[in-house]
Structures are given as structure tokens and as C-alpha cells.
């Protein structure tokens, strides 16, 4: 047999594609076309498309065998993937063929597309970033693997019952996943617990080995990720936890049918559910087990690849770049050391050189409550060998600090990997910092604050380690696929090269002064707004007017993101319209969407308030449709793909200094929404490029927030100075919007009069003024459209391709082919 034969080509062209889909339906699903449901068409189509991706993947593997370049390994506990059919078809350039193929079968592309479940293996921005980055790595032909967990249940489905969030499990796998390949043969043993034993080597030195008390298998599931124009394919390899011994047959035969399954249940719990907490550490042991599970599987996998390709671990840092997406995989520092020292007998110093050479770490938050740390006793019980290694890393690290700064105990305590604040805990951020050659923030502002706050002392010791890599988004998904109307306008105006080089958008600037172009641009926006209006009516029953200003805040519900500020301004506008009904108001639709962490009661109360306000406003005849408020349930990538292209105004109103970057801000501006926002995260850099005069910026800066907090700010000062704010708080606090429970919002309102930690009261008047500027500009449609075009034109730099090229050049040391 010729083992070098090329893979059998997947036939191309519409007719061949139709036959392929029909074969999948017939022989893989076992269905007749006449009884196929939309879901069957989706699965058959996805399998046919996957064949095309697989063909390219296998060919690429064959071509590079024996001369594989350096690989990037992107470790992330979250991947917010969304649907893949449109992305894969688009990147392969198969959209037209597929339309024709399905039409032949009597199916529309939307029938198949809308039947795909939304893969939500993440909570929000961090997980979506990982998904955009994977797509960009493929588009730039960087050999890469994404590593994560194949959760049975992704992020919960949100239902609003009477305005209260309820969580239901999401069953994205219930009808199988046609994109993935199960790889039962790719399996790694993951240990937990047990003890460390010392043996003497022949030379008398001591060799320590970990003898885990418990084993779990990590089994690989591969989803191919095809880049733009089908150039390159990488794998997203997600691990599923399986018990090595699925059934205790002895117990079963004794009649203990439930107990016989106990081990299996305990092992497999690791990949059961995504932790739905966003921006906060989950203190549970299961979370630490998840983190170690996927990190160890990833490292064992990449070390095995290294050995297969290079025959030795000593060149690992030249052949592998391991990027830690936040601290969730920070245990990689100790795990790689363990593998190199205990399993490959490398001396400590060499293992440390390799580990630091290979690993780099992205920080995503400065929120103190989100900085991960694990109690030492838990680590000692679950990962005893890793705890030893962490102590040894720490000793060496602190020795170096002591040598450079003798007698500075405060410095030692501050940079130690072990914190003493709330019992002894391992600080995962410090571990990741010390074990990495580069540490990056995700926007210029965030990186600066990292240097001044969380990592101030470590930064002083290692001034070259922290670098900035401002986030980016996939323009394929967040422009070309979700907004085909605008995309065809752009290719008409600028030529097709804009699809390959986002910086070509700069050439759009002159079109801002072209009235005919502005008209077409506005027509595309209008069509998108009509589509969103349909969705809103379907989901909430509320009719909205596509001519109104669509004012959109879509993101996780969090106090620092300040949905509450938006609701307060909504109430102020409502009261103003009622007080002066005859003024010529700009009709506004307020659109909220987002999930709250299930245990975050304040965030859930803010959802309830938005819904209470919506109900009151929407049925008040005095408002005459000038203001509508909707809360769209179950925000996810799929919902964003309809909302983003339809937005006029993008709410990016976090308390300055608290949003690390944001990526929703980028999606919305790219699609021509004007930003109302604070100078926070990447919005600062957006303003540098768009021009502040084409945005509605307001509020305290990050340093002003710091100063105010330090000076003992009290929201009552702002309430006393603002009649509008006082009236709004009085109305909400006294139960105008909650007649069924007058006291529902009293405590919420009191917190704004109190320390007002998130500066909602402090920024209220400035925000209302910015909203008035936005409403006024919207009444000058030509001026508004001109600003919108200039927003799109300035956003080219925020492509994930640019971000990934920066990681590749300065952190990973891998070439890119764009
Ligand atoms: C982009 C995106 C986010 C991040 O939004 P931010 O406004 O940056 O917080 C969260 N969730 C989904 C579904 C997204 O698509």
C-alpha cells in the first residue's frame, strides 16, 4: 500500500456538493430527504463542509511532515465559538456553491444555518477573544493548537421570567457535533492527589516522583479551524474527562449498581459544566481540577509532539510557544517543570530555562476579586508535587529579590508566589508572571495599570517583561459574515483587497463626504435594523421602529459595566418626555442584552430593574413610542451577530480603569455604531484613531476615579448637586417601577448615595449630557452617517489579525504569512 497517497479529494462545485450532502444525509444520518428536518440538513451540510476542510488539513499535514515549524499552543479555559457553518463556508469561499447545492435539495441556507446550536464554551469577552484568535492564527498560517475543555454543558441558557433571570442547562451536544472528530486514541492520564516519594539515584542524589492517588483520562476531540480563503487549517483540541475504569465490575456484581459508577461520575464531572462566573474566581475544588486537567493534557500532548518531531525535550522552547489565556492555565508553569524534571530527568536550571522560554501569559483583569489564588492545603492535597515545585520556584525567585534588595521584607511579601492575606494561598497571577518570558495586557490603558497596580513590584524587578497587545476581533465574523450588506458596499467602494487587509478601510474616509455613498451606507444599516426589529418582536413581543435611534448595551451584566447607569438615564429620559411631551424628542429604542453570573444577586437585580422599567415605559401612552426599552434574553454570539450590525449607538460606559479592553466596543464601531463611552480599555485607542469628535465620550478618567475613591467619595454629593439624578433615584427607590414590591430597589439606590464604588452617581450628569449630544446628532442624519462612516474607516487596526501578528512577532517568535 502506498502510504503517501494524497487524500481523496472532496469533489467541488455545486453539483458535487449537493451529492455529498445527500450522501451524508442518506448514509451517515440514515434519512430520506423527504423526512429530513432542518437539523438534519444542518448536520449533513456541516459534514460535507468538514470534508472539504479535512481534505485541506490532511494535505497540509502531508506537505509539512518532517519540517514542522514552531507551534503556538493557546491554552484557554473558555472558547466562545458560536455557530461555525457560515464561518467555515465563508472562509472556504463555498457560499455560492452551497446556496445552489441546497436550493437543488429544496433547502435554504438559513434553514440549515439557523438549526446549528450556538457553542458557548465560555462566558464572554475572554472566551470570544480565544475564538477570534484561533481563526486569525489559521488565517495567518501560524501552526497552532487551541486547547480547552469540551464541556457537556456550555454557558447556561437565560430565560427571563417576570424580569428575573433563570438559568437552564444548554445542551449543545444533544444532537451530536458534526464539526468535531472524536480521537479516542489520543488520550492522556491526568493524576490527582496521592503522594510524592523519594528514591535515591545511582549517584546518590534524590529523585522525587509523584504517585497520584486518582487518575482521570483526558480524551481529545478535534475541531478543525479553517482560516480565511481556506489557506491553513489548525485544530481546536478540547479534552473530555473519562474514568480510566468506567465501571467497578466487582461492585456492580455485588449488587452496588450506583456505587459501581461512583468513580466514573467523579472523573467525568470535570468536563460536565462550564463555570458560569465571569470575572470572579470559582473557589471550588472542581474548578482547580478543571484547570489542571486541561493544562496537563495540553502539556503532555505538546511534549509528545515535541518528542516525535525533535526527539528531545531540550529544544522545546524553540519549537513551542505556550500562551496562557488568563491565569486559569497558570499551573502550566509547575506542570511543565514536573514533566521536564521528573519524567525527562532534566536538571532544574535547564528545565526552568525551557519553561520560561516557552510560556507567556495574558492578563485579563485587575479586579482584585478576580485574581485567582488557591489555598495551600488544597494544592497540597490535590497536586502535592506541584506544590513542592512552586515552593522551589518561589525560593529561587525570592533569593534573587533578596540579593538585589536586601532587607526589604515588604517587597518579598508583595512578590511572593504565596500570599498570606487570607490564609496561605498560591497566587496564580504571580506564578504565571514569574514563569513567563512575556506578560501582556490587552489594551494600552490596561497594560499601564498592570505596571502600576497588580504587578507593580514584579514589574520593577523585571521591567522588560510586561508588554501590551491590544485585543482585536475577527473581521470575517464580525463584519463580512454578520453584515453582508455593508461588506458588499465596502468591496464596491474599495475593491476586494479590503477583505484581506483591514487597514484598507482607511481608504473609506473620503467616502464620508460622498452623499450617495452615505445614502447606501444608511440603507444597509436600515435593513439590519429591520432584521433586528423582527427578532425583538419574536423574542419580546415589543414592536420597535427601525427609524428610531437603536441604543445598544450588550455584554455580561456587571456593576463595573454600569448597565445601571444606562437604566437611570432611561428613567430620566422617560420622566422628561412625560414632563414635556411636545418637545421634538429623538425617538430612541434602548436595547439591553446580557447574562448575569447565577450567584451575582446585584447583577440579577439590575436585569429585573431594566425589565421593570421596560414594562412601565412600553405601555405608557404618554410616551407615544418616543422611547422603547427591551431586554433581549439569552445573549450569545448568535444574538450579537444580529444586534451588532443594527446598532446606532454603542454603550461602552464602564467605570474608567475597570474594563481591561472590551471587544464589543470594536465590533459595534466597525459596523458603524457611534460609541457613547468612558475612556476605558481599548475605547481609548479607538478614540485615538476615530477621533473623539466622532464619539460621545464622557465621565471620569481612570486616575480621577482613583483620586475620588481615595478621597472617600460619597454618591450623595452627586445626588445633592443634580435634581435629575435625585428625581430618578426617588422614583426607582420608592417603587414607581415596582408597584408589586415598593422596596425592591431601595438598597440599590442607597448604595448609589453611599460609597458609589462604581461612580454611577458621579458620572450621571456627564452621561446624560453625552446622551443629549447623541440624540441631537441623530436628528441630523447626514452628520450622523458621516460620523458612522468615519468610525468604520478607522477600525481596521482592531482586527485580530493585527493582534495575532503582534503576538507572533514579539512574544512567540513565529513567522506569519498573511
Ligand atoms: C464580543 C462578545 C463579548 C464581549 O463584549 P464586551 O462588550 O467587550 O464585554 C461578550 N459576549 C459575546 C457573546 C460577545 O460576542
HEC letters along 433-488? HHCCCEEEECCHHHHHHHHHCCCHHHHHHCCCCEEECCCCECHHHHHHHCCHHHHH
- The answer to whether position 705 is within a domain reads yes
Residue with CA at minimum distance from ligand 1 atom 9: 555
What pLDDT, in 10s, does the model give residues 155-164? 999 999 999 9
- The answer to whether position 306 is within a domain reads yes
CA 707 to chain centre: 31
Pocket test for ligand 1, best of 664, 666, 678, 803 (most atoms within 8 A of CB): 664
**Gap between the Cα atoms of 95 and 128, Å rounded:** 24
Give the distance (Å) from ligand 1 centre to CA of residue 210: 41
pLDDT tops 60 at residue 2: no
Give the distance (Å) from ligand 1 centre to CA of residue 227: 22
Q: Are residues 762 and 710 in the same domain?
A: yes
Give the distance (Å) from ligand 1 centre to CA of residue 121: 13
What pLDDT, in 10s, does the model give residues 542-601? 999 999 999 999 999 999 999 999 999 999 999 999 999 999 999 999 999 999 999 999
- Report the nearest atom of ligand 1 relative to the CA of 561: 9
- The answer to whether position 817 is within a domain reads no
Residue with CA at minimum distance from ligand 1 atom 11: 124
What pLDDT, in 10s, does the model give residues 626-662? 999 999 999 999 999 999 999 999 999 999 999 999 9
What are the angstrom distances between the C-alpha of 502 and each of 475, 796, 801? 8, 5, 9
- Report the nearest atom of ligand 1 relative to the CA of 80: 13
Q: Are residues 109 and 232 in the same domain?
A: no
Pocket test for ligand 1, best of 482, 555, 641 (most atoms within 8 A of CB): 555
- Report the nearest atom of ligand 1 relative to the CA of 681: 8
Residue with CA at minimum distance from ligand 1 atom 3: 125
Residues across the chain: 818
Q: Is 630 helix (H, G, I), strand (E, B) or coil?
A: strand
Give the distance (Å) from ligand 1 centre to CA of residue 125: 5
**pLDDT at res. 7:** 65
- The answer to whether position 479 is within a domain reads no
Q: How many structural domains is the chain composed of?
A: 3
**pLDDT at res. 256:** 81
Q: Are residues 510 and 495 in the same domain?
A: yes
> Which residues lie closer than 8 Å to 120 by C-beta, 6 or more apart?
80, 81, 82, 154, 155, 170, 172, 274, 636, 637
- The answer to whether position 514 is within a domain reads yes
- The C-alpha cell at 24 is 451524508
User: In this structure, what CATH number is given to the domain that contains residue 766?
Assistant: 3.40.50.2000
Query: Which residue shows C-alpha cell 483583569?
Result: 365
What pLDDT, in 10s, does the model give residues 743-776? 999 999 999 999 999 999 999 999 999 999 999 9
Q: Are residues 439 and 537 in the same domain?
A: no
Residue 263: pLDDT band (50, 70, 90) is confident
**Gap between the Cα atoms of 677 and 437, Å rounded:** 34
**Gap between the Cα atoms of 87 and 136, Å rounded:** 12
pLDDT tops 50 at residue 407: yes
- Which one of 469, 504, 539 terminates a domain? 469
- Report the nearest atom of ligand 1 relative to the CA of 594: 11
Mean pLDDT value of segment 36-43? 97
Q: Are residues 431 and 521 in the same domain?
A: no
Sign of CA dihedral 701, 702, 708, 713: positive
What pLDDT, in 10s, does the model give residues 608-625? 999 999 999 999 999 989
Give the distance (Å) from ligand 1 centre to CA of residue 123: 9
- The answer to whether position 802 is within a domain reads no
- The answer to whether position 530 is within a domain reads yes
The answer to whether the CB of 667 falls within 8 A of the CB of 650 is no
Residue with CA at minimum distance from ligand 1 atom 7: 664
Query: Of all residues in the chain, what percent carry a pLDDT higher than 70?
Result: 99
- Name the DSSP letter for residue 673: P
Ligand 1 neighbours by CB, cut-off 6 Å: 80, 124-125, 128, 555, 636-637, 640, 662-664, 667
Q: Are residues 661 and 597 in the same domain?
A: yes
Q: Are residues 596 and 523 in the same domain?
A: yes
**Residue of 773, 778, 779 lying closest to 569 (CA atoms):** 773
Q: Are residues 186 and 327 in the same domain?
A: yes
pLDDT tops 70 at residue 8: no
- Which one of 436, 469, 502 terminates a domain? 469
Give the distance (Å) from ligand 1 centre to CA of residue 148: 19
- Report the nearest atom of ligand 1 relative to the CA of 125: 4
Residue with CA at minimum distance from ligand 1 atom 4: 125
Looking at the annotation, which residues are catalytic?
364, 555-556, 561, 663, 667
Q: Are residues 558 and 610 in the same domain?
A: yes
CB atoms within 10 A of CB 689: 16
pLDDT tops 90 at residue 150: yes
Q: Are residues 321 and 434 in the same domain?
A: yes
Residue with CA at minimum distance from ligand 1 atom 10: 124
| Domain carrying residue 435 | 68-83+118-469
- Which one of 439, 469, 499 terminates a domain? 469
Q: Are residues 509 and 369 in the same domain?
A: no
Q: Are residues 465 and 498 in the same domain?
A: no
- The C-alpha cell at 205 is 542524589
- The C-alpha cell at 168 is 437552564
**Gap between the Cα atoms of 149 and 291, Å rounded:** 9
- Report the nearest atom of ligand 1 relative to the CA of 82: 13
- The answer to whether position 483 is within a domain reads no
Give the distance (Å) from ligand 1 centre to CA of residue 168: 20
Residue with CA at minimum distance from ligand 1 atom 6: 664
What pLDDT, in 10s, does the model give residues 348-359? 999 999 999 999
Amino acid at each position: 500500500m502506498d502510504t503517501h497517497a494524497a487524500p481523496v479529494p472532496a469533489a467541488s462545485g455545486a453539483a458535487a456538493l449537493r451529492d455529498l450532502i445527500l450522501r451524508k444525509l442518506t448514509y451517515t444520518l440514515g434519512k430520506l430527504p423527504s423526512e429530513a428536518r432542518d437539523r438534519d440538513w444542518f448536520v449533513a451540510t456541516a459534514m460535507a463542509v468538514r470534508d472539504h476542510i479535512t481534505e485541506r488539513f490532511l494535505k497540509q499535514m502531508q506537505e509539512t511532515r518532517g519540517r514542522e515549524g514552531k507551534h503556538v499552543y493557546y491554552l484557554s479555559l473558555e472558547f466562545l465559538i458560536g455557530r461555525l457553518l457560515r464561518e467555515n463556508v465563508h472562509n472556504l469561499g463555498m457560499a455560492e456553491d452551497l446556496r445552489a447545492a441546497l436550493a437543488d435539495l429544496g433547502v435554504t441556507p438559513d434553514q440549515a444555518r439557523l438549526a446549528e446550536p450556538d457553542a458557548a464554551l465560555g462566558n464572554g469577552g475572554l472566551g470570544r477573544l480565544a475564538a477570534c484568535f484561533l481563526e486569525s492564527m489559521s488565517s495567518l498560517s501560524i501552526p497552532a493548537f487551541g486547547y480547552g475543555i469540551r464541556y457537556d454543558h456550555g454557558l447556561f441558557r437565560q430565560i427571563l421570567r417576570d424580569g428575573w433571570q433563570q438559568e437552564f442547562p444548554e445542551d449543545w451536544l444533544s444532537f451530536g457535533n458534526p464539526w468535531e472528530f472524536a480521537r479516542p486514541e489520543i488520550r492522556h492520564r491526568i493524576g490527582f492527589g496521592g503522594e510524592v516519594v523519594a528514591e535515591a539515584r545511582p549517584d546518590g542524589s534524590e529523585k522525587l516522583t509523584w504517585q497520584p492517588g486518582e487518575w482521570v483520562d483526558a480524551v481529545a476531540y478535534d475541531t478543525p479551524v479553517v482560516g480565511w480563503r481556506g489557506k491553513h487549517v489548525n485544530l481546536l483540541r478540547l479534552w473530555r474527562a473519562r474514568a480510566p475504569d468506567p465501571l467497578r465490575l466487582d461492585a456492580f456484581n455485588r449488587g452496588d449498581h450506583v456505587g459501581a459508577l461512583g468513580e466514573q461520575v467523579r472523573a467525568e464531572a470535570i468536563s460536565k459544566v462550564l463555570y458560569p462566573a465571569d470575572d470572579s474566581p470559582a473557589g471550588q475544588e472542581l474548578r482547580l481540577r478543571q484547570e489542571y486537567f486541561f493544562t496537563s493534557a495540553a502539556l503532555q500532548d505538546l511534549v509528545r509532539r515535541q518528542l516525535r518531531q525533535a526527539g528531545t525535550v531540550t529544544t522545546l522552547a524553540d519549537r513551542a510557544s505556550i500562551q496562557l489565556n488568563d491565569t486559569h492555565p497558570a499551573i502550566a508553569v509547575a506542570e511543565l517543570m514536573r514533566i521536564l524534571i521528573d519524567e525527562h530527568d532534566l536538571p532544574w536550571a535547564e528545565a526552568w530555562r525551557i519553561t520560561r522560554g516557552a510560556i507567556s501569559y495574558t492578563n485579563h483583569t485587575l479586579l482584585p476579586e478576580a485574581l485567582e489564588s488557591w489555598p495551600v492545603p488544597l494544592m497540597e492535597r490535590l497536586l502535592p508535587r506541584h506544590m513542592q515545585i512552586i515552593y522551589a520556584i518561589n525560593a529561587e525567585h525570592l533569593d534573587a529579590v533578596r540579593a538585589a534588595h536586601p532587607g526589604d521584607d515588604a517587597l518579598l511579601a508583595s512578590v511572593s508566589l504565596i500570599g498570606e492575606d487570607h490564609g496561605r494561598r498560591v497566587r496564580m497571577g504571580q506564578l504565571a508572571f514569574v514563569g513567563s518570558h512575556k506578560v501582556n495586557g490587552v489594551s494600552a490603558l490596561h497594560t499601564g495599570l498592570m505596571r502600576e497596580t497588580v504587578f507593580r513590584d514584579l514589574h520593577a524587578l523585571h521591567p522588560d517583561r510586561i508588554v501590551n497587545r491590544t485585543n482585536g476581533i475577527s473581521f470575517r465574523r464580525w463584519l463580512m459574515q454578520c453584515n453582508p450588506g455593508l461588506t458588499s458596499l465596502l468591496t464596491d467602494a474599495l475593491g476586494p483587497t479590503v477583505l484581506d487587509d483591514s487597514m484598507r478601510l482607511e481608504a473609506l474616509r473620503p467616502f464620508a463626504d460622498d452623499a450617495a455613498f452615505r445614502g447606501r451606507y444608511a440603507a444597509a444599516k436600515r435593513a439590519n435594523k429591520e432584521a433586528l426589529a423582527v427578532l425583538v418582536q419574536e423574542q419580546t413581543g415589543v414592536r420597535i421602529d427601525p427609524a428610531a435611534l437603536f441604543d445598544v448595551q450588550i455584554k455580561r451584566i456587571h456593576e463595573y459595566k454600569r448597565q445601571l447607569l444606562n437604566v437611570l438615564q432611561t428613567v430620566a429620559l422617560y420622566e422628561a418626555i412625560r414632563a414635556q411631551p411636545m418637545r421634538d424628542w429623538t425617538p430612541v429604542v434602548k436595547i439591553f442584552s446580557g447574562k448575569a453570573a447565577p450567584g451575582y444577586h446585584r447583577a440579577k437585580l439590575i436585569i429585573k430593574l431594566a425589565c421593570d422599567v421596560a414594562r412601565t415605559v412600553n405601555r405608557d401612552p404618554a410616551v407615544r413610542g418616543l422611547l422603547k426599552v427591551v431586554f433581549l434574553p439569552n445573549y450569545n454570539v448568535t444574538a450579537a451577530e444580529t444586534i451588532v450590525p443594527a446598532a446606532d449607538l454603542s454603550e461602552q460606559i464602564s467605570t474608567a480603569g475597570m474594563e481591561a479592553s472590551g471587544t464589543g466596543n470594536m465590533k459595534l464601531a466597525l459596523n458603524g455604531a457611534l460609541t457613547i463611552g468612558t475612556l476605558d480599555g481599548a475605547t481609548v485607542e479607538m478614540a485615538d484613531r476615530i477621533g473623539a469628535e466622532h464619539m460621545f465620550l464622557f465621565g471620569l478618567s481612570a486616575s480621577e476615579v482613583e483620586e475620588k475613591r481615595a478621597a472617600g467619595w460619597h454618591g450623595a454629593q452627586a445626588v445633592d448637586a443634580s435634581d435629575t439624578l435625585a428625581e430618578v433615584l426617588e422614583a426607582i427607590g420608592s417603587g414607581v417601577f415596582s408597584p408589586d414590591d415598593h422596596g425592591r430597589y431601595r438598597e440599590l439606590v442607597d448604595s448609589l448615595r453611599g460609597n458609589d464604588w462604581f461612580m454611577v452617581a458621579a458620572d450621571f450628569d456627564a452621561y446624560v449630557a453625552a446622551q443629549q449630544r447623541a440624540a441631537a446628532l441623530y436628528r441630523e442624519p447626514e452628520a450622523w452617517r458621516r460620523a458612522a462612516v468615519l468610525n468604520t474607516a478607522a477600525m481596521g487596526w482592531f482586527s485580530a489579525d493585527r493582534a495575532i501578528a503582534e503576538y507572533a512577532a514579539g512574544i512567540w517568535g513565529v513567522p506569519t504569512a498573511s
